[in-house]
Amino acid sequence: MTRLALIHTVGSLAPVFADLASELLPDVDTTSTVDEALLGETIAAGRIEPSTASRLEQHVRTELEAGADIVLVTCSSVGPVVEAIAGRSARPVLRIDEAMADRAIAIGPRIGVIATLRTTLEPTADLIRRRAAAAGDRPVEIVTRVVDGAFAALKAGAVDEHDRLIREALLNLVPDVDVVVLAQASMARVAATLPPDVTASRPILSSPRLAMERVAERLASEG
């Protein structure tokens, strides 16, 4: 049986991807590894430390050696390391935000990227720039927003305050762009509460479903 390995840095995302796997990849055996320290170390350092990158690669290598046909790392903050690992792998290793970046580029040239952490914002914005340059059809303008205080509120258990800050930031950003990219999947439920008239002509994209659709496409193309 075809096997997909998921590597998470946020434990609460595991059931989200399990549901998507059941829907989109019902005939694929899916396994999950959770290492929240990967993200914690990156946030604390403000960058991806070599030891963090090495441990992530070990997780990927372990899954591939155990027979995984494809690996998806579900954390945008470590995306650059995922790309480096993919370049050394004979089997596909995907970063979660690649498909989302491609969709945003296809929608319009003025792209908003919003995050609660700068360590997540910058890798996603950089990916969009590079994917747009590789596509070569038109330049893009990226408008970035970090929602100050939202991550701290969430860590403190103040979910309502976290959601309020994100909602306000989205309402301010949406009118100025063609499409909004959520650099963190956890913001998707807040985006879903915005009035339909706000998002009707300016889509707000989240990575989990788009990433799993990309996994399905890669598996189909490779037989």
Which of 142, 146, 145, 144 shows the shortest CA–CA distance to 111? 142
36 shares its domain with 135: no
Residue 13: give the domain boundaries. 3-96+209-221
103 shares its domain with 82: no
CA distance 92 to 144: 29
Listed ranges 104-108, 116-120, 195-199; the one with the highest mean pLDDT: 104-108
What's 200's domain CATH number? Answer: 3.40.50.1860
| 66-102: pLDDT as tens digits | 999 999 999 999 999 999 999 999 999 999 999 999 9
User: What is the pLDDT at residue 199?
Assistant: 82
How many distinct structural domains can be found in the chain? 2
124 shares its domain with 149: yes
| DSSP states along 153-195 | HHHTT-HHHHHHHHHHHHHHHGGGSSEEEESSGGGHHHHTTS-
113 shares its domain with 179: yes
82 shares its domain with 163: no
Put simply, whether the predicted model's pTM sits higher than 0.85 gets the answer yes
56 shares its domain with 108: no
190 shares its domain with 111: yes
